[in-house]
Amino acid sequence: MTASEIVSYEPATGKELWRGKVGDVDAAVDRARRAWPAWAAQPLATRIELCRRFANEVRKDFDKLAEMIARETGKPLWEARTEVESVIAKVDISVTAYAERTGQKKLDSALQGTAAVRHKPHGVMLVLGPYNFPAHLANGHIIPALIAGNVVIFKPSEKTPATGELLMQCFNRAGISAAVAQFFVGGPEEGKALVAHRGVDGVLFTGSVQVGIAINRKLASNPGKIVALEMGGNNPIVVIDTPKVTDAATLIVQSAFMTAGQRCTAARRLIVKDSMYAPIVDEVKSLVSRLIVDEPFADPAPFMGPVIDNAAADQLVESFLYFLSNGGKAIRHMTRPNDDLPFLTPGIVDTTDMTDRPDVELFGPLLQVIRVKDFDQAIAEANRTRFGLSASLIGGSPQDYNRFWANIRAGIVNWNRPTSGASSKAPFGGLGLSGNHRPAAYYAADYCAYPVASTEMDQPRATIGVGLSNG
């Protein structure tokens, strides 16, 4: 990789996949600003129709896009295909959400005229996408922004630009110009320049807490720029009394190791009541030992592929060893079958006796297990984090779940379901270090347009009834 180019590699093979020239920040913003007035002036029905044409273009390129996602992220092909399905479904969901969240309102009064509420787009929106769901999560910002009348500059993660390019080509073929839905190639420096650019009206970010905090700090003195941050979590999955041990273990494995643990909603901490510890841990170990870890197109299909790159794999192995060196006990060792490629087997470590468990998001297939004596301690332990994205309770009664729901600090709270796999028809976001109270998914419409309150009469009519002299 050079300063003038971005190069993408396949995690599963290490081979070069894509290469592109870094874009010009000022030129990209200028192009977007010139395109915005005409796009915003389009009728809402026209913008919606063009977005629906985009969905049709994605359908035409379904296999091509799924294969590119699998190659560029390393995730299994079956999972990449579910991501493309989510991209298509996002359009109709976003149309409904825009109508519900930003619908027009009028309150008529013969003497006072009409009180109206309508919404306006912000202008030029910068979308900074992640590498784990390079099409779906970016698209979750792009579609609501376009429907609302914004133009978009999309800078994908420098680790997944090829997927970003294919996605934006679908928009452009649908009749949404490359100035309105603009693909931008760049690394961290270009990202910083775009965030700070005075011609950018909003920043929609999905990624690490370190980058999200840097964006927030950079824009702290500019309250006029809309900022939506989705920054992941140190998510707990809590197990109390349940006879369904096999099902509980399956939910734990799905939560912790799907997408090689590279989901912002992945379970990082398994908190288990004493009485359930032995059967749950034994069943999880047994199930994990059967998981297939392989390249995306392998036969039989793998449960998970590699993590995104060797640097990520190195960091995860180092984190596992850190736990073992600081009071953790290995339940299942994390191994790296090939030092040249970022494949990892799932690691599980009991950190109950650690005096200082790091409150960080370890973005990969590494699960901590913490043993507690009762439900009170479980809730307290679950809340021992600065993050607050997702949490799940396995087992217990409806009363237990009500108590869990009321006391847990998270934007997504589930019962007998994984921590991951949130519905696009619901809001998606968290609190603490997980976000800045601008949930995405169904609520993305909220940050893509701002409300304008009006009082209106077709002719001026006014009197002053008090305080005038007779002269």
Residues designated as active site = 230, 264
Q: Where are the alpha helices (DSSP H) in 258-394?
A: 274-288, 310-325, 375-382
Beta partners for 128? Answer: 155, 205
- C-alpha triplet 53, 59, 60: angle, nearest 5°: 95
What is the rounded CA–CA span in Å between residue 322 and residue 222? Answer: 40
Sheet containing 151-155: which strands, arranged edge to edge?
181-183, 151-155, 124-128, 202-206, 226-230
Residue partners of 410: CB distance under 8 A and separation at least 6: 233, 235, 388, 389, 390, 391, 430, 431, 434
Place of tokens 């841990």: 281
What is the rounded CA–CA span in Å between residue 248 and residue 263? Answer: 20
What is the rounded CA–CA span in Å between residue 464 and residue 459? Answer: 17
Beta partners for 372? Answer: 273
Structure tokens at 311: 């640097």
Structure tokens at 143: 């579609």
Pair type for strands 151-155 and 124-128: parallel
Q: Where are the alpha helices (DSSP H) in 11-156?
A: 25-41, 44-60, 62-73, 77-101, 136-148
